[in-house]
Structure 1
């Protein structure tokens, strides 16, 4: 309880008072900007430039997700033994070169290969960044650090599409790749000034990535709240990726052009920034983060369903309507992700944060690899709007059931773990 009270006294921006975290945060801002420039450019190139449909978008989603399952858990466990600072810098440099390769991609297959390689590097960058946050801030600032991290991602959802849309109009479909590569390069220069942080000796001596991941899973199973949060987020991420790649199809079905599609994605980003700011400023959820995650999930499901209804033509397709709904959708999503990031920091140690983060990413992404394919085939049958409507209903239903039933199980497991610890 004392730590919770102490956390409440911390201002939202307090971690930025630490020069090392401030440098890490600036590097993440630049990387996230490159990520969102890439996102818009890939979607518009495939749909508007090459005239591809939902199946091509599903292939893109799989290429983006597969590395987090088969590459991230193995490489991140090994990389955690080396200089975290150098790994972060190397990841940015590699992603810069891979984005330059996308400029000369003339076929879907080549484009998907470069996307796969870039996301493989990103699957290593993220767990190492989590370790950096843990070592460059104090425990009473982890909630604020998680909020700032989400703020970076969500802020770039606004800036990225806006800048990307402008670049598309001025310099063509490939220009966002060039600017994104420059952002990764500048991020590497910023991260060059980070100090080295200590790596647990047990991690350095560990040579088998599989045993590291087994230890990570054992760690998760011994912490009921962490396990429940990972399983819940895995289910929700699956549902998100059923419809996420179809946003551009919804925009096209509603008669929007490329600039309006960028505005819709930017509106989600505006809401996400507001949600991250709210979660960082009013952090009473720290006592029960999973409860707040499920509450946000129920509201998110309702909003996704409303998007589906609008795309099917049951609501007037006014741009103002889409902007308001997407702002609310982004706010609820961010308000759910911040508690999960805090849960990862709170329930892990320096030794386990990297493998547990990689394991969480692998489970979330692995569960949703099939999701884009299901969404694509469903969109061919019931249109993209129908997919949004069905997924929205399922999201609210699962979040509600999880809130009612899993929370009770969690309390029982807490009691069991406590009694076991006392016996030991």
Structure 2
């Protein structure tokens, strides 16, 4: 209670949260070093075709599809801090093994195993965040998590691109392993987590005796009964299905209009990170009760327009256009991801958070089996430019539909907004 009364509206005074947050930031930064290096290694050095590139997201998604919901239940039942420590340590070890992968046939199983650990880590981190912060700090916590996730897209690709100019992709992969080790050490420094929820919900012990399949079923049942959660999940699923058609084909597109500039993809992702960070900082200062439909819909409109614009670029296009489009793409991505995660956390009771995020992992990862393979086939036979333009326009239309039919998709959120306006004004004052 002492923390609760002294913290005010700032999370910076919550030392436990800030240590967990720092560990998350360290791991996210390393992941972007790693992600860019793997794309360059596979796309530019191994010269893998669109279909082989499409197998990377499939390998990353398979563990989430098979075990995502169970992972969410585990995050609710097990000690979240210990679970995150184990995931970081094993991820570091597997990343070292990725260094020795001689081909795609070795790389894909290692990426799948590493993804399985991340699948456990994500709901544990979200659930722990939900336990460490108060209700009125959820948007701030969501924004800070998004800020790290997007901010790492600035430093990661920029420094990763610089490293790739002088070193091999394997060095960037090694950096990720080292940063994961640092994240593990940071989590080791966190001891005896106590939250208000832990104190007020001490009689939660009986949940330990509830069978896993019962907790899993309860999570699905709760989500299906909540109109807001169901609409948000379905809207996210529809958008992910479209986005994942091209998400791992950026290397194919960049090889067409920038065949000699490996680092250009890194610059584009960095610009995306800048846009996302700036919009997240802005969202953090706005009223959190602003309608979900406006933010989610406009996010898809900006992402879709940017994807279509990238597909319209001609060979030898100026880097200025690449950076500008990447910046707008980042704004759309930041708006959508912060709102999506905030909605799931806000509309879910603390003891169900791990399960709901586990379900989200499973649902959104399911599209990573179908969409990337479809995208690989389409890019192989129609070329990346045409597929990027059509995919972008489709996502833009989906965003417009969210804006137009928001009252039908999120009616309860609209009622909450109207009822909470005066209270919000008092709180802000």
Normalised by the length of structure 1, the TM-score is 0.90
Conservation of the 8 A alpha-carbon contact between 1:225 and 1:290? no
- Look up the match of 2:347: 347
Matches within 5 A, 1:266-281: 266-281=270-285
Instruction: Choose which of 63, 71, 78 in structure 1 pairs with 2:74.
Output: 78
Quote the Cα distance in structure 1 between the aligned partners of 2:86 and 2:365.
23
Query: Kindly tell me: are residues 180 and 355 of structure 1, through their superposed partners in 2, closer, same or farther at Cα, counting changes over 3 Å?
Result: same
Instruction: Choose which of 214, 219, 227 in structure 2 pairs with 1:216.
Output: 219
Query: Kindly tell me: are residues 402 and 289 of structure 1, through their superposed partners in 2, closer, same or farther at Cα, counting changes over 3 Å?
Result: closer
SS of 1:62 mapped into structure 2: helix
Deviation at 1:202, TM superposition (A): 4.5
Query: Kindly tell me: are residues 326 and 75 of structure 1, through their superposed partners in 2, closer, same or farther at Cα, counting changes over 3 Å?
Result: same
Conservation of the 8 A alpha-carbon contact between 1:202 and 1:351? no
Query: Kindly tell me: are residues 407 and 202 of structure 1, through their superposed partners in 2, closer, same or farther at Cα, counting changes over 3 Å?
Result: farther
Unaligned runs of 5+ in 1: 1-8, 416-424
Instruction: Choose which of 245, 248, 261 in structure 2 pairs with 1:242.
Output: 245
Matches within 5 A, 1:263-412: 263-282=267-286, 284-311=287-314, 317-405=317-405, 407-411=407-411
**Number of aligned residues:** 400
Quote the Cα distance in structure 2 between the aligned partners of 1:128 and 1:15.
19
Matches within 5 A, 1:194-233: 194=190, 195-197=192-194, 198=198, 200-208=204-212, 210-233=213-236
Query: Kindly tell me: are residues 277 and 412 of structure 1, through their superposed partners in 2, closer, same or farther at Cα, counting changes over 3 Å?
Result: closer
Conservation of the 8 A alpha-carbon contact between 1:151 and 1:276? yes
Quote the Cα distance in structure 2 between the aligned partners of 1:300 and 1:52.
26
Deviation at 1:412, TM superposition (A): 7.9
Quote the Cα distance in structure 1 between the aligned partners of 2:223 and 2:338.
19
Conservation of the 8 A alpha-carbon contact between 1:80 and 1:203? no
SS of 1:196 mapped into structure 2: coil
Deviation at 1:401, TM superposition (A): 2.1
Query: Kindly tell me: are residues 105 and 65 of structure 1, through their superposed partners in 2, closer, same or farther at Cα, counting changes over 3 Å?
Result: same
Q: How big is each residue's C-alpha offset from its partner over 1:339-363, in whole Å with a ceiling of 9 and x where there is no partner?
A: 1111111111122100100101111
- Look up the match of 1:57: 53
- Look up the match of 2:159: 163
Quote the Cα distance in structure 2 between the aligned partners of 1:101 and 1:76.
27
SS of 1:16 mapped into structure 2: coil
Quote the Cα distance in structure 2 between the aligned partners of 1:10 and 1:230.
32
Quote the Cα distance in structure 2 between the aligned partners of 1:337 and 1:152.
12
Quote the Cα distance in structure 2 between the aligned partners of 1:299 and 1:265.
15
Conservation of the 8 A alpha-carbon contact between 1:290 and 1:339? no
Deviation at 1:259, TM superposition (A): 1.5
- Look up the match of 1:150: 146
Deviation at 1:10, TM superposition (A): 7.4
Deviation at 1:413, TM superposition (A): 10
Deviation at 1:170, TM superposition (A): 2.8
Conservation of the 8 A alpha-carbon contact between 1:33 and 1:156? yes
Quote the Cα distance in structure 1 between the aligned partners of 2:273 and 2:409.
35
Quote the Cα distance in structure 2 between the aligned partners of 1:266 and 1:372.
23
Q: Provide the alpha-carbon RMSD of the alignment.
A: 2.0
- Look up the match of 2:421: none
Q: How big is each residue's C-alpha offset from its partner over 1:297-343, in whole Å with a ceiling of 9 and x where there is no partner?
A: 123222221111115x6xx7111011011101111111111111111
Unaligned runs of 5+ in 2: 1-6, 416-429
Quote the Cα distance in structure 2 between the aligned partners of 1:290 and 1:347.
15
Deviation at 1:382, TM superposition (A): 2.0
- Look up the match of 1:262: 266
Normalised by the length of structure 2, the TM-score is 0.89
Q: Which moved more, 1:116-125 or 1:382-391?
A: 382-391
Deviation at 1:402, TM superposition (A): 3.1
Conservation of the 8 A alpha-carbon contact between 1:271 and 1:331? yes
Deviation at 1:223, TM superposition (A): 1.6
